[in-house]
Amino acid sequence: MLPLIRHISPGASYLEPCAGQYDLCDHLGAHGLTCIAATDIAPRDGRVHRMDALTITPEDAAQTGADYIITNPPWSREILHPMIELFSDALPTWLLFDADWIQTVQSAPFQWRLRRVVCVGRVKWIKGSKHTGKDNASWYLFDAKGTGPAEIFGRVA
């Protein structure tokens, strides 16, 4: 998560629409960020409220006063692509998913929304595991209201 922290203003607030077990919120909170609301279609922590992330409206998100939407969304393109559109219409949105996505034709319709790519490499998804995942990941910042070309930040040791 440290690669992302370097790109967010200290003290920023965010919505976490795919919060699951609240792990990402705990980590971001330890770095001074404030979770305004944590939701998930299938919550696995008492701090997470049940809600389908695809039902949030840009107006609802804006009314929370959050600075960002930050989440590790499902990597299924049928869910991910609508989330990119919906979330980035509402607020600047940081999404963690596979790094190869940017290299594919399917990313083309969304690249005008893309502001930053922060390379992460392989992520250890299971606490206590000796192994990382088999796919490289990146944090992507999407913002439908932003302008200019996307900046790409390589992996930092």
Both tokens assigned to 39:
């939701």
Q: Are 117 and 102 in contact (CB under 8 A)?
A: yes
Q: What is the mean pLDDT of residues 147-155?
A: 90
Instruction: Enumerate residues 6+ apart whose C-beta is below 8 A from 6.
Output: 118, 156
The vertex-52 CA angle with 143 and 42, nearest 5°, equals 120
pLDDT in tens, 124-149: 545 665 655 568 899 999 999 999 99
Q: How far apart are CA 71 and CA 17, in angstroms?
A: 7
pLDDT of residue 123: 62
Q: What is the mean pLDDT of residues 19-39?
A: 96
Separation in Å, CA 76 to CA 21, 50, 71, 140: 19, 20, 14, 16
Domains parsed from the chain with CATH numbers: 2-153 (3.40.50.150)
pTM over 0.85? The answer is: yes
Q: Are 62 and 91 in contact (CB under 8 A)?
A: yes
pLDDT of residue 125: 46
pLDDT in tens, 102-127: 999 999 999 999 999 999 866 654 56
pLDDT in tens, 60-99: 999 999 999 999 999 999 999 999 999 999 999 999 999 9
